[in-house]
Amino acid sequence: MESNILRLAIQKKGRLADKSLELLNAAGIRIDNYSQQLLIKAQNFDLELLFIRDDDIPEYVQDGVADIGIVGENVIYESGKKLDIVEKLGFGKCRMSLAIPKFSTFNSVKDLDGKNIATTYPKILKKYLLEKSVNANVHYISGSVEITPNINLADAIFDIVSTGSTLKSNGLKEVETVLESEAVLVANKNLSDEKKELLEQILFRTRAVNKAKNNKYILLNAPNEALPKITDLLPGVKSPTVMPLAMDGWSSVHTVIGEDDFWNKIETLKNAGAEGILVLPIEKIIA
């Protein structure tokens, strides 16, 4: 019998594990008695969690052992599995880059012709080299790729970079970014209608949470003559709320403002006459 519980595969331990659980938690999905069991049912939603290694997630979701999963794009592309990428989740961000010893010269990827490149991601690398018509030897290494140039195992590496400090401390420099990656929600291509509906409910919630994260609630006071200029600067979800203050000739303005440019806007708002500006975090936005 087809079960109507949606099964989500997430990383058991590692860089994506906590953030994956945090996202569910913020979406109001309660996972009690979480103690690294393999499979656990949510308390208040038709969802069960399967905790596995991230490398296994694409295959499990493709084969329907899990219905959906949270995994890095890098892992999906390397797996070559056929999945629907449903949503970018905004965490686990990194890039996949080529790096060489810092004193080597580099003009273009063509310089890697005939060279040895070590990587844990041979599929992604080979595809890239083919696109660029570079004829290099790709060596698969299961870990600590960054040490291979120092022990003369490779001339270059292709690996995940985040801050760049691993490359730096191994005397390497990043010369080419091949791919940007972040954690995404993936789904099996043949979900039943019931499971699709459950997935939509989860997406509705996580989108509200992620949208809220990227925005702030702003309150400020301004003299009435400054209001046209100030409300122009603040579009809000629909349009800003303007309320009179007890003090004659003054109003209070409330609205939602994007995280990205909020420092710039705050300067401009002050210059336009805004005072007593408060900026608050938002928990959820249902637009």
72 binds ligand PRT (CB under 6 A): yes
Burial class (CB in 10 A: 0-12, 13-18, 19+), 233: middle
Select the residue interacting with ligand PRT from 90, 164, 236, 273 (CB under 6 A).
164
Residue 54 as a binder of Zn ion (CB under 5 A): the answer is: yes
Least distance to ligand PRT, CB of residue 62, Å = 17
Taken as a whole, the chain contains a residue count of 287
What span, in angstroms and rounded, lies between the C-alpha atoms of 240 and 269? 14
13 lines the binding site for Zn ion (CB under 5 A): no
Find the angle CA(193)-CA(183)-CA(89) to the nearest 5 degrees.
65
Assess 14 for contact with ligand PRT (CB under 6 A).
Answer: yes
Q: Which one of 53-61, 100-108, 200-208, 276-284 is the stretch in contact with Zn ion (CB under 5 A)?
A: 53-61
CB of 95 to ligand PRT, least distance (A): 9
Buried b (16+ CB within 10 A) or exposed e, 176-206: bebbebbbbbbbbeebeeebeebbebbbebb
Residue 75 contacts ligand PRT per CB under 6 A: yes
**Number of chain residues interacting with Zn ion (CB under 5 A):** 2
Binding site for ligand PRT (CB under 6 A): 11, 13-16, 53-55, 72, 74-75, 92, 94, 159-166, 181
Binding site for Zn ion (CB under 5 A): 54-55
